[in-house]
Structure 1
Amino acid sequence: MRTLYVRIVLTFMAIAFVSGIVGVLLTSLYYEDQMKSINERKILDMGQSISRLYEKEPAINLDAYLQGIAELGFQIYAVDDRGEGKAYGAPFKHGKLDNATIQAVLGGEIYHGMKEENARLKLVSFFENSIRNTVGIPLSTQEGSVALFVRPDLEKQIGEIRVIVAVLLGFTFVTSLVLIVVLTRYIVKPLNVLKQATQRIVQGKFDVDLESSRGRKDEIGELARHFAHMARSVGQLDRMRQDFVANVSHEFQSPLTSIQGFARTMLDKEATPEQSEQYLEIIERESKRLSALSKQLLKLAALEQEDQKLQYVAFRLDEQIREILITLEWQWAEKKLNLELDLPEVTVSADSNLLHEVWLNLLANAIHYTESGGTIGVSIREEERSLVVEISDTGIGIEESELSQVFERFHKADKARNRASSGSGLGLSIVSIIVSLHGGTVEARSKVGKGSTFAVRLPR
């Protein structure tokens, strides 16, 4: 299996190779379109200059003259009218001229060998050491006409430059490969760190260390920061899951243990009739507690479903709260609590059944945690963009350090004082979720010994 490192290196190598080929093709097109005719014109001018110089001094020995010109950096092939040819300078490696071409030049025509179509790249044909790749011009001598085929000797004229360019390109390509191999490790290293971090998360270890990657300002650094945030969130969810399972087990275990113990005592005939009646009452009470806990857990599961849809209806909010107070009348009347109500007529559009759960939980808590003779206040006020319902009590209050956690599942704010000994710790969690589903917020304010206030803010 190829690693990402190998894939990136091979990709960069392929890019370099393809770039080289495309560069050669484009350069060849540029040469053919812009430089080929210019180059052929230069060679033609040189050949004609060679011809004119000789024709000014026809007494010069042609053989010696052409040999001298060749030594200046040219390849020359001369053919007389008898068909005898001789090469001067570096030999032509391949190619042959047909008799018709030679006769045409002897007759006074110009041979444009460098302009002829070639199946090869035009850029490559420029360097072709072939007698066909020449310019043919006629030369008049005392012995008769001579056809001169001339081309520059590139080996002599730019041989060193060709070597330098070749060495430059070679070292550039090798250096590029070395840099690709080295720098790719720098690119892949943070990804390997992320890979190791994912392996730790799979093993249930969420304390991943990504500090070396998180300091980067690029996409990898951003990925590392998001990954670290995700790892913390997953770790927190895992701890919440474990706590949830532990709390559910504890909440179920306590009443089940009581039920099992009292039932066993009754089955063993060890209890008097009075004790049996008392035990049956305890069993009934614990069974109701289990039933209520099960219902709340089912309610939480239903509320947290992603496809949870609210059933919006228009209803009188003040009337709904009054109905709940009437339902709970036996509780607050038994404790002789005072009610301070400020419930103006307000119509809202919301899920009536779910909001009923909110007011029922908040009012039941207020009644439960307020001592006899205390006061419970319920008010509704309208703001520009929201509707605020406040439920307050003069109960025992909540520690300030606990306020941020009161909406967590199974959280009981006064464990030391057994404040919620009969509760499950799920009621306020349900309240928070329902309000959040409506796009609202709920907050708690409290002072120990002076009471608490829960403010539910719903969008208008």
Structure 2
Amino acid sequence: MKSLYFRIVTTFIVVALVSGLIAFLISNFYYQAKLKEFNEEKILEIAQEIVFLHENSADLPIDQFLTSIANMNFQLYLVDETLNGESFGEGFRNYSLDENIIKSVLAGNTYHGISEFQSSLFVTGFFKDDLKNSIGIPLKVNGKNQALFIRPNVEKQFGEMRIVFSLLLGLTFLLSLVLILVLTTYLVRPIKKLTKATRKIASGNYNLQLESNRGDEIGALARDFGLMATSLQKLDEMRQEFVSNVSHEIQSPLTSIQGFTKAIRTKSVSPEDADRYLGIIEKESARLSSLSKQLLMLSSLDKQVKAVEKAPFRLDEQIREVILLTEWQWSRKKLHIELDLPELIIEADKQLLFQVWMNLITNSIKFTGDHGTIFIDAFVDEDIVVTVRDTGAGIPEDELPYIFDRFYMGDKSRARTSEGSGLGLSVVKKIIDVHGGSIGVTSKLREGTEFTIRLAR
């Protein structure tokens, strides 16, 4: 498997090569479109100047004159009327040229060979020293028409600069490659640290020291990774606590059931005690059944196995139904129930919301003293809002952030064998969440507690 370091280095090299190729193509296009004709015009001006100088220096033989011009780094080729030619200066690599072109120049026309030269579409064609790649201009020598073909000797004029530019490009590429190799190491190093940190987390070690003071994306990734590790650690601790609590919640009633069953089977207890023991067994069995149902509901909601089957129904009627079902509980404690429930139609999962009102109302009944009052109100603003308020014992302020945690019990003094498992409010919170709503709580000790539920209309 190719490493990230190798991939980054390869990517940089490919980018450099492709960028160089694209730059060359753009430069070539610019030369072909703009500079090629401009270059020919300059050489044509030079050729015309040479003709002018010859015509005004008749005392100098043509051979000496053209040799002097060639010594200024030009390639010259003179053709007479019999099509015999003579080179001056550095010779052309290829002298092949259509006779009609030579005759046209001898007749007084100008040959634009540089702009018409098509041996290459690239700018490198400028350096090709073919006779075709030249300017042809008529020249009178001793009263006779001759054709003078001229082009700059690029090798002599720009030879040193070609070496300089080649060296510059080569060193630029090599130095870029070295810098890429070095700098990529610093780029990949924090990623390698994150990889090691991932292995530590996989092995259960959440204590990580990552470089998170960087201001770039790597630093942001390191910070987010640290937060993820902290969250995973908390999640793992919650999982362990959850397993421990479930085991304890199940073990306690099972121990009671086992003990009282043995006592009854030995027939060493009176009929009255046996009947009381059977009542405790029934109560603990019901508690186990309730615990298992709540755990299954939480599990299905967590995994989204249970679909939220929304349908319209009367919310006020559902809450009144819960009040009727719990009448034996609140009437036994002589509680007052104050209802303010206008007719409300909501589209939601009826079965799940029934569980919400049942848990909240039974909690209020449980923690409200005799002759207390429970207020249940509903109204509509942007959402449907339901409040359940009681005049019960209240919840300490420092415990309010944890009351929706699973197996959390605010009353630390009570035994696990008493009613409740610490899952009721967790179930409520989860159901409200899957409906896209929210639940809030305010409470004061010895004054009461109020739950506020918001659900979309």
After TM superposition, the score normalised by the length of structure 1 is 0.86
| Equivalence for 1:152 | 152
Question: What whole-Å deviation, never above 9, does each CA across 1:54-111 have from its counterpart, x for those lacking one?
Answer: 2333332222211111112211223444555432222334444455554554454433
Whole-Å separation in 1 of the counterparts to 2:73 and 2:107: 27
Aligned-residue offset at 1:2: 1.8
Amino acid at match of 1:311: K
Rounded to whole Å, the distance in 2 between the matches of 1:170 and 1:279 is 95
What is the CA-CA distance between 1:126 and the residue it aligns to? 0.9
Query: Secondary structure of 1:412's match?
Result: coil
- Alignment match of 2:253 (pick from 255, 263, 278): 255
Q: Is the 8 A contact 2:438 2:453 kept in 1?
A: yes
Superposed displacement of residue 254, structure 1:
1.6
In the TM superposition, what whole-angstrom CA distance separates every residue of 1:20-55 from its partner, at most 9, and x where no partner exists? 222222222222222222222222232232223223
The answer as to 2:9 corresponding to 1:9 is yes
1:230-283 superposed Cα distances (whole Å, 9 cap, x missing partner): 44444433333332222212111222233334445555x373454555544433
Please list, as runs of the form range in 1=range in 2, the aligned pairs for 1:89-238 lying within 5 A after superposition.
89-97=89-97, 101-142=101-142, 144-212=144-212, 215-218=214-217, 220-238=218-236
Task: Give structure 1 stretches of 5+ with no counterpart.
Answer: none
8 A Cα contact 2:441 2:449, kept in partner:
yes
8 A Cα contact 1:74 1:89, kept in partner: yes
Residue 75 of structure 2 is matched in structure 1 by 75
Higher mean C-alpha displacement, 142-151 vs 116-125:
142-151
Q: Conserved in 2, the CA contact under 8 Å of 1:374 and 1:393?
A: no
**Partners in 2 of 1:437 and 1:18 — Cα distance?**
52
Shift of 1:290: 1.0
After TM superposition, the structure 1 stretch with the greater mean CA deviation from structure 2, 130-139 or 291-300, is 130-139
Q: Contact 1:76–1:151 at 8 Å: present in 2 too?
A: yes
Which amino acid in structure 2 is aligned with residue 312 of structure 1? A
Q: Is the 8 A contact 1:369 1:419 kept in 2?
A: no
In the alignment, which residue of structure 1 is the partner of 2:324? Answer: 326
> Alpha carbons of 1:83 and 1:381: their partners in 2 closer, same or farther (altered >3 Å)?
closer
- Indicate if the aligned counterparts of 1:389 and 1:456 stay in contact, CA closer than 8 A: yes
Indicate the SS of the match to 1:163.
Answer: helix
Counterparts of 2:291 and 2:163, CA distance in 1: 88
1:444 counterpart = 2:441? yes
Q: Does the 8 Å CA contact 2:252/2:417 hold for their aligned counterparts?
A: no
Q: Between the two proteins, what is the percent identity of the paired residues?
A: 43
- Aligned position for 1:377: 374
Could you tell me which runs of 5 or more consecutive residues in structure 2 were left unpaired when the two chains were aligned.
none
Structure 1 residues 221 and 382, CA, compared in 2 at 3 Å: closer, same or farther? same
Contact 1:414 1:420 in 2 (8 A): no
**Contact 1:206–1:232 (Cα < 8 Å) also in 2:** yes
- Relative distance call for 1:142 and 1:340 in structure 2 (3 A) is closer
Which residue does 1:66 correspond to in 2?
66
After superposition, the Cα gap between the structure-2 partners of 1:76 and 1:321, relative to the gap in structure 1 and judged at 3 Å, is closer
Which SS does the other structure have where 2:118 is aligned?
coil
Q: Could you say if the C-alpha distance between residues 32 and 443 of structure 1 is closer, same or farther in structure 2, counting changes exceeding 3 Å? A: closer
Q: Quick one: structure 1 residues 65 and 111, their matched pair in 2 at CA, closer, same or farther if it must change by over 3 Å? A: same
Q: Which residue of 2 aligns with 1:366?
A: 364
Is the Cα contact below 8 Å between 2:40 and 2:114 reproduced in 1?
yes
- CA shift, 1:365, in A, is 1.9
Question: Does the CA-based 8 Å contact 1:380-1:387 persist in structure 2?
Answer: no
Q: Is the 8 A contact 1:444 1:453 kept in 2?
A: yes
SS at match of 1:130: coil
Pairing 1:312–2:307 present: no
CA distance in 2, matches of 1:276, 1:263: 9
User: Per-residue CA shift, 1:344-383, capped at 9, x if unaligned?
Assistant: 4432324443333222222222222334x34032231535
Amino acid at match of 1:33: A
| Range that drifts further, 26-35 or 277-286 | 277-286
Deviation at 1:447, TM superposition (A): 3.1
Counterpart amino acid of 2:4?
A: L
**Partner Cα separation in structure 1 for residue 445 and residue 66 of structure 2:** 117
Paired position in structure 2 for 1:398: 395
Give the superposition deviation at 1:6: 1.8
Aligned residue number for residue 282 of structure 2: 284
Does 1:346 find its partner at 2:343? yes
Deviation at 1:425, TM superposition (A): 0.7
Once the 2 structures are TM-superposed, how far is the Cα of residue 202 of structure 1 from its aligned partner? 2.6
| Greater mean deviation of Cα atoms: 26-35 or 275-284 | 275-284
Quick one: structure 1 residues 398 and 15, their matched pair in 2 at CA, closer, same or farther if it must change by over 3 Å? same
8 A Cα contact 2:101 2:111, kept in partner: yes
Q: Distance in 1 between the 2:301 and 2:115 partners?
A: 83
State the secondary structure of the residue aligned to 1:247: helix
SS in 1 for 2:440: strand
Report the AA paired with residue 148 of structure 2. Answer: L
Q: Distance in 1 between matches of 2:49 and 2:60?
A: 16
Q: Normalization by structure 2: what TM-score?
A: 0.86
Secondary structure, aligned partner of 1:313: strand
Counterpart secondary structure, 1:271: coil
User: Secondary structure of 2:395's match?
Assistant: coil
2-structure distance, mates of 1:15, 1:84: 53
Q: Which amino acid aligns with 2:340?
A: L
CA distance in 2, matches of 1:388, 1:56: 108
In the alignment, is the contact (CA less than 8 A) between 2:341 and 2:379 conserved in 1? no
Q: CA 1:73–1:287 in structure 2 vs 1: closer, same or farther (change >3 Å)? A: same
Aligned match of 2:18: 18
User: In structure 1, what is the Cα distance between the partners aligned to 2:449 and 2:100?
Assistant: 115
Shift of 1:426: 0.9
8 Å CA contact 1:343–1:379 kept in 2: the answer is: yes
Counterparts in 2 of 1:346 and 1:133: CA distance versus 1, 3 Å: same
Equivalents in 2 of 1:367, 1:102: separation in Å?
117
Contact 1:316 1:345 in 2 (8 A): no
Q: Which amino acid aligns with 1:250?
A: H
